[in-house]
Structure 1
Amino acid sequence: MRIEVRRSGGFAGTTRRWRVDTDTSGDPAAWSEVVDALPRTAATESPSGAPVPDDFTWTITVERTTVTIPGRRLDGPWADLVARVRSAGDPS
């Protein structure tokens, strides 16, 4: 499975990306556990409150499903997935 994380915004307004192909990783089962822990409803469905200046926006794609989460709301399983992809993924 392919996972892509894109971080945009922030003070400089830059975009960074990280990609992982879990099928070629050393432990595909561990990736499946992380993905299976993701909520089945998008994190953006909850009230998000007022925008935060210079906040990051995270766009996460797992296979054909994409969610966009404001930085201040990135937590739980989504934050775990982002951290893992950033650590193991190829930056671009």
Structure 2
Amino acid sequence: MQIVVRRSGGFAGITRAWRVDTDARPDTDRWAELVGALPRDAEPDHAGPDHAVPDDFMWTVTVARTTVTIPGRRLDGPWATLVAEVRDQGEPA
């Protein structure tokens, strides 16, 4: 399974991306657990107003064929864990 994380926005407006092919890794079960912990509705569950924040990052996470975009101020829980792991363990895309 391919997981791609893209970060855009911020002060400089630079886009960066990382990717992981979980099938090619020795820790496939750990990646399956990370993906399995994501909410089933594929949308981050957050309460509160959706006001834009200047210079905030936008995170676009693609897992297999599902893509979700999350404002940086709302990146938390299982989504934040997955993003951190892809950034740490993945390669630049």
- Normalising by the smaller structure, the TM-score range is over 0.9
State yes or no: 1:12 paired with 2:12.
Answer: yes
Q: Unpaired segments of 5 or more residues in structure 2? A: none
CA distance in 2, matches of 1:56, 1:48: 17
CA distance in 1, matches of 2:9, 2:45: 17
Aligned partner of 2:4: which letter?
E
Q: CA deviation at 1:45?
A: 7.5
CA distance in 2, matches of 1:60, 1:47: 21
Residues paired across the two proteins, number: 92
Asked if structure 2 preserves the Cα contact closer than 8 Å seen for 1:2 and 1:63, the reply is yes
Using a 3 Å threshold, how does the CA distance of structure 1 residues 70 and 48 change in structure 2: closer, same or farther?
Answer: farther
Instruction: Identify the residue that residue 86 of structure 1 maps to in structure 2.
Output: 87
Asked if structure 2 preserves the Cα contact closer than 8 Å seen for 1:44 and 1:68, the reply is no
Q: CA deviation at 1:71?
A: 0.3
Aligned partner of 2:28: which letter?
P
Deviation string 1:42-65 (CA, Å, 9 cap, x unpaired) is 017755521000000000000000
Q: Given the two structures, how large is their TM-score scaled by the length of structure 2?
A: 0.93
SS class of match (2:50): coil
> Where does structure 1 differ by over 4 angstroms across 4 or more consecutive aligned residues?
44-48
SS class of match (1:83): helix
Q: Given the two structures, how large is their TM-score scaled by the length of structure 1?
A: 0.94
Superposed CA RMSD: 1.4
